[in-house]
Amino acid sequence: MKKYLTQSHSIFPSPRIEETAKYYEDVPGFHAVQYLDAKEPHICLYRDSTEIILTIANTDKVFPNRELYGYGYDAYFITGDQEELQNEFMAKGANIIRPLQKTDYHNQEFVIEDIDGRWIGFGIKGKEQLLRIMYHSRKKPRRCFTAAGLCDQAYKPGSVFGDNLSAHTVASKRQATPSGHGGQPFRPCWCCTG
């Protein structure tokens, strides 16, 4: 299947749009670009490859998902180094609601509360969750890539949780040696890391 979707933006209505933008610049380190003269006034917040769009709310209060529906974050950002990011946010005075931890759904994440009361998660799926996704989305056997090259094990649907996974990991480590791949250090593929 051809892939069409490349990104997603969070849209946050805010009764005090400029205050919210300043918070996101000062604490999570986003860059704000204002479009307040547009027909639909808004402020875009950018950091790395993510974007938040602030719109002007017609209420005096933000109603977070957990208040409206009982639970749930208001946005979730994928990041590769949660610990470093959490430390950066803490140094800038972020309100850490849930410190970095592994969840019962196998994500490694932390959660902050923004100036409007939204809970924003920062994390990444754990190895177990990625393997489940990989297994359920596979249509045909594939070979696994390491940072140093093609792994010598072909995955077979139905076997990634069984003996093939440990055999695959061993074979991947055996093949991806510095001497066998132009002096690159061994870095196992994401499905082989333990």
**Whole-angstrom Cα distance, residue 104 to residue 107?**
8
pLDDT tens profile 53-102: 999 999 999 999 999 999 999 999 998 889 999 999 999 999 999 999 99
Q: Which residue has the higher pLDDT, 69 or 188?
A: 69
Domain boundaries, the chain: 9-57, 76-125, 128-180
Whether the predicted model's global pTM rises above the 0.75 cut: no
pLDDT at residue 119 above 70?
Answer: yes
Q: What is the pLDDT of residues 144-172, one digit of tens each?
A: 444 444 444 444 444 333 334 444 444 44
CATH for the stretch 76-125 = 3.30.720.110
Q: What's the CATH class of domain 9-57? A: alpha beta
pLDDT at 74: 97
